[in-house]
Amino acid sequence: MQPISKSMLSRYASLKQKKFRDQLKLYSISGFNAVETAIQSKQIQIEALLVRADQSEQANKLDVNQEIPVYELMPKQFDQLSDERNPQGIALIARKPVTVFTANDFKSNIFIYLDQINDPGNLGTIIRTAAWFGIYNILLSPNSADPYQPKTARSSAGIITHLRIYENVDIENLTLLKQDYDFKLIGASAYGKQSLKEIRFNQTKKYGLIFGSEAHGISGPITELLDKQVNIPASGIGESLNLAASTAIFLFHYQQHFSPKAK
């Protein structure tokens, strides 16, 4: 474990801003459990582990490659890195994966498409939920939240490193998946004419599960592409479900029909 230089501290602190995450092609994941989950990924490329001085004993429990530099930070230094009010004192810096989406190279039979999702906490929770139900490909439309911002990575509990996340997947690509590659597009909508209970998934078919923004739902042009719009019927009171909760219910229903071969 080595002390961190001022220039390195400044470099990593800048990752709280998107422009520097994009420029440096790095992002951070914080919290012991999230870091522990992240480092188990075969896809992750770790640049550094950052440890607050009082957490060195906890850090020693992590199975980190000996070649990865580990920096010890004083509490005030660690606070510069974090957007949390009470950070746990352990974070890793990872390289952003290069994932350019092309319909021709897409081999999975199931994906989630998120249309202009703008809440980073919801996005992180959806990433975590998707992995739980065995879905490892998430497509984000243009104007969606940055999946590599600290709150999203933290809300995913480190699972973000285990999935393939494609950003800026536009309607043209979605149209290709439907028309040329035979994906059935099923959208979750409060205005859907069919109940989720009525939907039956077929093992021989390929599916795209579409979810819209928290405030506006699925946008008009994408709604026109859908094969089905599906609602989750209420049994009690309330105006609507949280997006992450709706996604979890939808994916649970999907899983009941078969175990997706999504990897």
Phi, psi at residue 142, to the nearest 5°? -55, 155
Could you report the per-residue pLDDT of 135-179, keeping only the tens digit for each?
Answer: 999 999 999 999 999 999 999 999 999 999 999 999 999 999 999
CATH number at residue 72: 3.30.1330.30
- β-strand 2-3 against 70-73: which pairing, if any? parallel
pLDDT of residue 259: 54
Asked if residue 60 belongs to a domain, the reply is yes
For residue 84, the number of C-alpha atoms closer than 13 Å in the C-beta half-sphere is: 19
pLDDT of residue 58: 85
Of 63, 95, 127, the position where a domain reaches its end is 95
- Does 190 lie in the same domain as 147? yes
Q: Nearest to residue 28, comparing CAs of 116, 94, 119? A: 94
CATH number at residue 245: 3.40.1280.10
Structurally, the chain folds into a number of domains equal to 2
**What is each CA distance from 183 to 31, 58, 59, 60, 117, in whole angstroms?**
38, 46, 44, 46, 22
**Strand runs (DSSP E) across the chain, as ranges?**
2-3, 26-30, 46-52, 70-73, 90-95, 110-114, 137-140, 164-166, 183-188, 194-195, 206-211, 228-231
- Does 111 lie in the same domain as 84? no
- Does 136 lie in the same domain as 78? no
pTM score: 0.90
**What is each CA distance from 116 to 107, 120, 233, 245, 247, in whole angstroms?**
24, 11, 24, 17, 15
Asked if residue 63 belongs to a domain, the reply is yes
Reported as a pLDDT band with limits 50, 70 and 90, residue 263 is very low
- Does 139 lie in the same domain as 86? no
pLDDT, the chain, mean = 90
Could you report the per-residue pLDDT of 184-230, keeping only the tens digit for each?
Answer: 999 998 888 888 888 888 888 999 999 998 888 999 999 999 999 99
- Does 126 lie in the same domain as 169? yes
Question: What is the spatial distance between Cα 161 and Cα 99, in angstroms, rounded to a whole number?
Answer: 12
Domain housing 36: 2-95
- Does 226 lie in the same domain as 110? yes
- Does 192 lie in the same domain as 223? yes
Phi/psi region, residue 134 (left: phi>0; alpha: psi -120 to 50; beta: rest), is left
- Does 214 lie in the same domain as 233? yes
Evaluated on CA atoms 43, 49, 54, 56, the torsion sign reads positive
Of 35, 62, 95, the position where a domain reaches its end is 95
- Does 69 lie in the same domain as 123? no
Give the single-character DSSP code of 216. Answer: T
Of 77, 95, 113, the position where a domain reaches its end is 95
Asked if residue 39 belongs to a domain, the reply is yes
Could you report the per-residue pLDDT of 71-92, keeping only the tens digit for each?
Answer: 999 999 999 998 888 888 999 9
Q: Name residues whose C-beta falls within 8 Å of residue 258's C-beta, 6 or more positions apart in sequence.
A: 201, 203
